């Protein structure tokens, strides 16, 4: 039995795929949205610290199934290690469900700054790094940021952020209040001449788009919202796409290969359905939005006569420039309770260290941190403190509500050698060659992390912490544990980029990318709103051109 031909196939129902599905279905395109996971159901994923997306001790709440989805990590000496997300080894999976990471994320809704689109022309050449400008500017993407803010729903107020990028329309919802540590630390930051302001959140501060306001649930980040007040693609744009009658969401479908015609155009996909049966779906165009690692893997696994090394890969660029975010910051202990554990915990941010620091390339934001639940807290101690025994327990008993922290993502340097390849010798449950990941971070990442952690510690000291310490990230192997991006970078030159500025793969008229893979550089911000905006941007251009 063959599936009915459609206008567009979208692979991946996450931050990018959900937005482009709404855009195409809304324009009257018939769309099949293929998702490897299922619909997230709150009752199946209760507030369990050991099965959350943040602390995946027993399994990830929203997939993918660790046993069915191995990966390979290639160490610097070339040895290959087969990993799964539970074995404690290095891994780069993201959630596998409708909405993907937008179901369980912390929901920070940052716009990148204009400089983030012009890293090369702002900072020049950085030895060892592959800094480039994006082929689109902040101004070109601005309307799509706005669309994401209004169609998904963002609560915020950036009037106190002097570095806020220009906006044409305010946020649709008022900003959230500060919690106790937020008040304390933002006051300290102000005394130091910094500019704290409420974090923009993809979360309802008031009822919005027929869903209720946030209840400050303790277990927010890492979990689905029990009252549906956290805005992901699964409860906003995807239902809108479905309501047009033009978009069919097919869950538990693992795409194995993009199929091509002899003329070089793509014609559909081969995938395994919810019963693990092989299926073919044809379409006029294909959009890949499977996350930076999985999108690259799928292109590399789709080999044709014209593209013998994988679609779009004739210049050996697919999978390269794999980036993520090193997190860095500092902790402070107070002699009174500063944590209420109202959710989600992160309430204010600082953009003072994004592009405004003499001598630093890129930088990153700082924010007070999301709630650290008891097991994660037990893994958090000052340097030299006991890791077990009576003293370790006493620290937990005494300090669980007395520890504040400031952390942020540092803008990583893109590296040519940091990449996703495929390993033909290791197959997933469906027999598809898996992603193999390799690379080392640029030394600047750690230098920048040191700077940001030192600033975070100063704020904690100013706030009156009786003990402070830094946690400095950015060393070691390739990023991409969090906020993976960059593997099909967009650009104007087919020899140095995989897609054009509209997300169309060079030399393949009807194959598009619409996820973080497009990002040339990763910014010093959580990327979701940028991925949403790119989904709308690519979608609009498809509608106008196809």
Partner 1 sequence: MSHQIIQDRREFLKASIMAFGGAIMLPSCLRNYTPFLFFTADEALLLTAICEQIIPADENGPGATQAGVIYYIDKQLYEVFTWEQDKYRLGLTAINESSLELFSANFDMLPTDKQLLFLKKMEGNELPDSYWKDNSASGFFRTIIQHTMQGFYGPPRHGGNKNYISYKMINLDYPYVVGRNLYE
362 CB-near residues (< 8 Å, 6+ apart)? 116, 119, 123, 354, 355, 410, 411, 413, 448, 521, 524
- Rule CB under 8 A: choose which of 44, 58, 76, 170 binds partner 1: 58
Which is closer to partner 1, CB of 54 or CB of 446?
54
Which token pair is 448? 């920048």
Nearest residue to 60 (alpha-carbon basis) of 35, 39, 81, 84: 84
400 CB-near residues (< 8 Å, 6+ apart)? 339, 374, 377
Residue 213 found at the interface with partner 1 (CB under 8 A): no
- Rule CB under 8 A: choose which of 226, 239, 382, 494 binds partner 1: 226
Residues 335-364 that bind partner 1 (CB under 8 A): 340-342
Nearest residue to 281 (alpha-carbon basis) of 306, 250, 309: 250
Cα distance from N-terminal residue to C-terminal residue, the chain: 28
Spell out the alpha helix ranges (H) of 173-221: 180-191
Residue 80 burial class via C-beta count within 10 angstroms: exposed 0-12, middle 13-18, buried 19 and up: middle
Closest contact distance (angstroms) between CB of 452 and partner 1 is 28
Nearest residue to 514 (alpha-carbon basis) of 78, 19, 2: 19
> In sequence order, what DSSP letters do the residues of 112-149 get, joined into one string?
PPGGGGBHHHHH---TT----B-SS-HHHHHHHHHHHI
Which is closer to partner 1, CB of 86 or CB of 242?
86
CB 154 within 8 A of CB 529: yes
Residue 57 found at the interface with partner 1 (CB under 8 A): yes
CB 73 within 8 A of CB 437: yes
Q: What is the 3-state secondary structure (H, E, C) of 248-287?
A: EEECCCEEEEEEECCCCCEEEEEEECCCCCEEEEEEEEEE
Which is closer to partner 1, CB of 122 or CB of 380?
380
Which is closer to partner 1, CB of 167 or CB of 398?
398
Residues 379-398 that bind partner 1 (CB under 8 A): 379, 387-390, 392-394, 396-397
Closest contact distance (angstroms) between CB of 93 and partner 1 is 17
Site stretch for partner 1 (CB under 8 A), options 52-60, 148-156, 190-198, 350-358: 52-60
Residue 48 found at the interface with partner 1 (CB under 8 A): yes
Residue 378 found at the interface with partner 1 (CB under 8 A): yes
Site stretch for partner 1 (CB under 8 A), options 137-145, 213-221, 291-299, 353-361: 213-221
Site stretch for partner 1 (CB under 8 A), options 15-23, 214-222, 300-308, 528-536: 214-222
- Rule CB under 8 A: choose which of 375, 475, 492, 493 binds partner 1: 375
Which is closer to partner 1, CB of 223 or CB of 502?
223
Which token pair is 40? 């997230």
The count of chain residues that interact with partner 1, using the rule CB under 8 A, is: 35
Which is closer to partner 1, CB of 111 or CB of 203?
203
One character per residue 288-327, x = contact with partner 1 (rule: CB under 8 A): ----------------------------------------
Closest contact distance (angstroms) between CB of 376 and partner 1 is 9
Residue 465 and residue 389: Cα distance in Å, rounded? 25
Which token pair is 50? 């050991």
CB 106 within 8 A of CB 230: no
Which is closer to partner 1, CB of 229 or CB of 292?
229
- Rule CB under 8 A: choose which of 5, 50, 274, 476 binds partner 1: 50
Closest contact distance (angstroms) between CB of 543 and partner 1 is 41
In the three-class reduction of DSSP (H, G, I as helix; E, B as strand; rest coil), residue 468 is classed as strand
Residue 228 found at the interface with partner 1 (CB under 8 A): no
One character per residue 478-497, x = contact with partner 1 (rule: CB under 8 A): --------------------
- Rule CB under 8 A: choose which of 56, 69, 85, 217 binds partner 1: 217
Closest contact distance (angstroms) between CB of 309 and partner 1 is 35
Closest contact distance (angstroms) between CB of 399 and partner 1 is 9
Residue 59 found at the interface with partner 1 (CB under 8 A): yes
Spell out the alpha helix ranges (H) of 333-442: 374-378, 389-399
Angle at 525 between CA 448 and CA 181, to 5 degrees: 85
Residue 215 found at the interface with partner 1 (CB under 8 A): yes
Residue 47 found at the interface with partner 1 (CB under 8 A): yes
In the three-class reduction of DSSP (H, G, I as helix; E, B as strand; rest coil), residue 8 is classed as strand
Residues 64-103 that bind partner 1 (CB under 8 A): 86-87
Kindly list the residues in this chain that would bind partner 1 in the complex (CB under 8 A): 47-50, 57-59, 86-87, 215-219, 226-227, 340-342, 374-375, 377-379, 387-390, 392-394, 396-397, 400-401
């Amino acid at each position: 039995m063959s599936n009915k031909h459609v206008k567009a196939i979208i692979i991946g129902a996450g931050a990018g795929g959900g937005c482009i599905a709404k855009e195409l279905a809304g324009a009257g395109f018939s769309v099949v949205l293929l998702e490897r996971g299922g619909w997230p159901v709150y009752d199946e994923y209760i507030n369990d610290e050991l099965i959350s997306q943040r602390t995946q001790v027993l399994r990830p709440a929203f997939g993918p199934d660790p046993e069915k989805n191995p990966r390979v990590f290639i160490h610097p000496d070339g040895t290959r290690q087969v990993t799964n997300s539970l074995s404690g080894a290095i891994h780069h999976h993201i959630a596998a469900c409708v909405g993907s990471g937008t179901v369980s994320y912390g929901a920070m809704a940052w716009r990148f700054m204009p400089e983030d689109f012009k890293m090369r022309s702002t900072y020049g050449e950085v030895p060892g790094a592959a800094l480039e400008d994006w082929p689109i500017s902040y101004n070109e993407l601005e309307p799509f940021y706005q669309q994401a803010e209004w169609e998904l729903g963002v609560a915020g107020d950036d009037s106190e952020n002097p570095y806020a990028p220009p906006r044409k329309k305010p946020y649709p919802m008022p900003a959230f209040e500060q919690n106790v540590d937020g008040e304390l630390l933002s006051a300290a930051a102000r005394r130091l001449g910094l500019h704290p302001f409420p974090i923009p959140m993809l979360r309802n501060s008031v009822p919005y788009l027929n869903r209720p306001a946030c209840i400050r649930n303790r277990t927010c980040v890492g979990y689905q919202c029990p009252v549906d007040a956290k805005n992901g693609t699964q409860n906003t744009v995807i239902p809108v796409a479905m309501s047009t009658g033009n978009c069919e969401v097919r869950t538990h479908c693992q795409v194995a290969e993009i199929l091509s015609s002899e003329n070089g155009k793509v014609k559909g996909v081969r995938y395994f359905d919810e019963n693990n049966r092989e299926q073919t779906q044809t379409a006029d165009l294909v959009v890949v939005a499977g996350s930076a690692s999985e999108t690259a893997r799928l292109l590399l696994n789709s080999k044709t006569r014209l593209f013998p090394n994988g679609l779009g890969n004739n210049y050996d660029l697919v999978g390269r420039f794999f980036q993520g975010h090193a997190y860095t910051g500092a902790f402070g202990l107070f002699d009174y309770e500063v944590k209420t554990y109202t959710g989600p915990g992160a309430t204010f941010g600082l953009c003072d260290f994004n592009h405004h620091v003499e001598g630093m390339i890129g930088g990153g934001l700082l924010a007070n941190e999301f709630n650290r639940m008891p097991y994660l807290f037990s893994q958090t101690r000052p340097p030299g403190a006991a890791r077990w025994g009576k003293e370790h327990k006493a620290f937990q008993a005494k300090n669980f509500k007395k520890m504040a922290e400031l952390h942020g993502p540092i803008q990583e340097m893109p590296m040519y050698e940091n990449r996703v390849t495929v390993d033909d010798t290791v197959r997933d449950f469906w027999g598809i060659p898996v992603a193999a990941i390799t690379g080392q971070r640029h030394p600047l990442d750690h230098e920048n992390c040191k700077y940001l952690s030192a600033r975070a510690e100063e704020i904690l000291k100013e706030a009156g912490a009786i003990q402070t310490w830094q946690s400095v990230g950015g060393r070691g192997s390739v990023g991409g544990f969090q906020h993976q991006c960059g593997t099909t970078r967009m650009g104007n030159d087919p020899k140095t980029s995989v897609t054009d500025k509209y997300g169309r793969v060079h030399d393949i008229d009807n194959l598009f990318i619409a996820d973080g893979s497009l990002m040339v550089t990763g910014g010093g911000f959580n990327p979701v709103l940028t991925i949403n905006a790119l989904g709308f941007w690519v979608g609009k251009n498809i509608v106008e051109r196809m």
